[in-house]
Structure 1
């Protein structure tokens, strides 16, 4: 009798994956950048006056002669002739500005939107002249968004994608807005002259929008008289004093500390720190009109864990900014200590906009990131994708935790001089990877040596070899990557 060698297992039955329908949106997408997020072209000289990020252009703009003068509003522009400067496109390369620091390009965001849309034609980047009043850009956005939606509704790809959508309806608008772009978007949907635009909008996602302003704007305007400061800061202050948009970014919350009292900025305060009181008065009138409307439903993404100035004092025309804010009771009264002093509370933010100003509605989604990098942050990308695809989990699910690290670095340094890079949120050097590299890829230090300098703070001394833009990258074992751009340039 032959013995069997044992049972032979039958081969697995062939398995064929069913045909899968990729998740796309059939809605029309509009991407609205923040302040300084659009390339500007001067038609009178046929030259780009903002948006080319290389060391030669940066040095010419910030350190030499009259490099920023083309950004000043002319008398004609002050009375409404905006033909001289035309926005060409969203930023294609990183740029740098005093106080606002590095601003990353919108390439990653545009690519994400195009890959999520039914067709690239469904995506409309909206470059705008960020020097001008928000209301001016809002009217233009309302007009262009309407045309974009009409064109997309007539597009064959919209018709085909609608058949695949889980909700059988015509396409609507979805706005992804960074920084000041959120203010432009809200104004477009409420004051832009198209009464049906809000109803034709499915949603707005904002990234670090300063709904109540930012103390950084006060620092910018004060740079001419708040010295000593590096030359680029004064150049920006001179240009910003002519710009309605910068005055519209001034804080409108309780931020000005005066003994035992805290109040909002007045036109006289703005005049005292180097701003234009008329432009600020016009800004307050604009917000009064905006606040009188019912804002569309939106989802704020807020930057967290970054050291952020949130309040200020004015001492003989000099702004002294602080990294704490003042909270109020539900009746609007200021919270106070038993001594009667106002209660000072740090809430951090994204390095430019503190968290409460960026939270026009709740719930908010916190992302540990610097302001200029929010629209390119890897942690933000899946949030944006979910919003574009209308995943209910984004709104109804649990919020992300606040765990993460922050960066604190100077915005302007001199080549060859040592400066301090501070990582906040941890005091364990072994848990952090922190490096710096030239944006053009010509130089890098993959790992900086970090020393403990206090509770939840690490520090490294850094020296850069030459003028140019450099990107610092920090990553902890337990959180996302945080980046910031530093400009190195020689004073002249």
Structure 2
């Protein structure tokens, strides 16, 4: 069809010419996993002590008397000799831990990063011994990131991609860090021993990083107190009591309800609830130094609308955690009602880290996701791609509406348990399945409306093992959570 101007109308269909510059970054990318996100190997025996692909490994680790013993720090490790354990690679298969609600591997995240870089050699993964102090891993991350950047700057693919970059600037570093990996990255850039590393970094994206800690860490250390509790929780507490990293994840905000007072957790409290007073004091000193240094070029991704513990009461050594938090005025005074009682606020989070702890500033990128799965979520991966392509300013300031999952992290095979979906009271809007992570078993879950404006369903898992619950509404993103089904207590595995 000819126009009055004597030519053909442009083709309205979108198309791409063959000489369009590929949408990739020429920067060097470092992927830093979270706690329990790296495979660990005992160098003295050659045995993998965390992260085996064998489906029977989880049951042996959590349900036998010595299953987690190799993870406990030895006296030599407590004294600073860290040669016994190495971290050869990132987690390859789903894993599970009490309170942390499962840890997904990072395969989808890595594939997303690969699609946005000029060459695979631009990517460095940083597996690390997540039991150790953040400062120890941070020093190694600083050193290895420097080496990675130098190698990439000499790479032929960098030279080719740089010619197509604006101003043809040389590559810089971009960090993508999940959970505790964000703390390791923060420390590497500010106190890691390389004073030029921060200047050579274009940006840091954190995913569910507990910058102010998490009440979940107090629950982990307290699992041996009170009772009765599932055996895996007690096993974890015994191992965690030796780990500096778990103490560095303890909450550092106003979270302890003490009559009409609200205060911070102290090292004495930590000892009372089952942790190590000296490790707690060392963590306190470490963060007081760390937070004197700003973290520029930071984009925090935070999980929202998942029920998350945010405060606690400590009575006779027993932690009672609650899903509300407290707020202060700009002068630091706690907000109170007319009778002087602290006001309680519902903030939610990603099931492990509440929203206000997951960022150093008020500016965040919210996504509907559970903590262990946030790095693999579709929405988070889309934001990561934009960040790598220097289009992060186009990312959403607000997440679309969505749902949350509320369910136990541990159950018994053959025993019914309750699963809840929050954010809707219409069963027709939600599709949900529960599937084994290592077999073809899968089952649809049908929800019914409950009295408190959410949906509930009763689920029974057929055998011991690790399962993934996946829920999707007519709107918003998919939400997933792992649950570990153990045998009946009387059937607990022997050594």
Task: State the TM-score, normalized to the length of structure 2.
Answer: 0.95
Q: Assess if the C-alpha contact under 8 Å between 1:211 and 1:359 holds in 2.
A: yes
Q: Which consecutive residues of structure 2, in runs of 5 or more, have no partner in the other structure?
A: 1-6
Aligned 8 A contact 1:186 1:296 in 2: no
Q: What does residue range 86-235 of structure 1 map to in structure 2 within 5 Å?
A: 86-235=86-235
Structure 2 contact 349–355 (Cα < 8 Å) conserved: yes
Q: What number of residue pairs does the alignment pair up? A: 480
Moved more, 222-231 or 67-76: 222-231
Partner residue, 2:282: 282
Q: Would you say the 8 A contact 2:424–2:455 is kept in 1? A: yes
Report the alpha carbon displacement of residue 398 of structure 1 after superposing the two structures with TM.
4.8
Q: Distance in 1 between matches of 2:459 and 2:268?
A: 41
What CA distance in whole angstroms lies between the structure 2 residues aligned with 1:120 and 1:318? 49
- In structure 2, what is the equivalent of residue 487 of structure 1? 484
Whether the 8 Å CA contact 2:99–2:220 is kept in 1: the answer is: yes
Distance 2:323 2:346 in 1: 6
Could you say what secondary structure the match of 2:234 adopts? helix
Q: Deviations over 1:218-240 (max 9, x none)?
A: 00000011321100000000000
- Cα-to-partner distance string for 1:8-38 (whole Å, 9 max, x where unaligned): xx99999993521111100000000000000
Partners in 2 of 1:194 and 1:355 — Cα distance?
Answer: 31
2:404 to 403, 406, 412: 406
Offset at 1:338? 1.2
Judged with a 3 Å threshold, the aligned counterparts in structure 2 of structure 1 residues 180 and 410 are, in CA distance, closer, same or farther, namely: same
CA distance in 2, matches of 1:13, 1:335: 62
Report what 1:248 is aligned to: 248
Q: Does 1:469 align with 2:466?
A: yes
Q: Is the 8 A contact 1:350 1:371 kept in 2?
A: yes
Structure 1 spans left out of the alignment, 5+ residues: 1-9
8 A contact 1:55–1:467 mirrored in 2: no
C-alpha distance in structure 1 between counterparts of 2:102 and 2:251, whole Å: 21
Aligned counterpart, 1:263: 263
Q: Secondary structure at the match of 1:52?
A: coil
How many Å apart are 1:379 and its aligned residue?
1.2
User: Take 1:382 and 1:238, find their aligned partners in 2: how far apart are those partners?
Assistant: 39
Secondary structure, aligned partner of 1:82: coil
Q: Secondary structure of 2:115's partner?
A: helix
**Equivalent residue for 1:460?**
457
Contact 1:116–1:385 (8 Å) recurs in 2 = yes
Classify the secondary structure of the residue corresponding to 2:89: strand
How far residue 441 of structure 1 moved from its aligned partner, in angstroms, is 3.3
Deviation at 1:52, TM superposition (A): 1.5
| C-alpha distance 16-365 of structure 1, shift in aligned 2 (>3 A) | closer
Moved over 4 A (4+): 10-16
Secondary structure, aligned partner of 2:458: strand
CA drift at 1:101: 1.4
- Is the CA contact (8 Å cut-off) linking 2:383 and 2:392 kept in structure 1? no
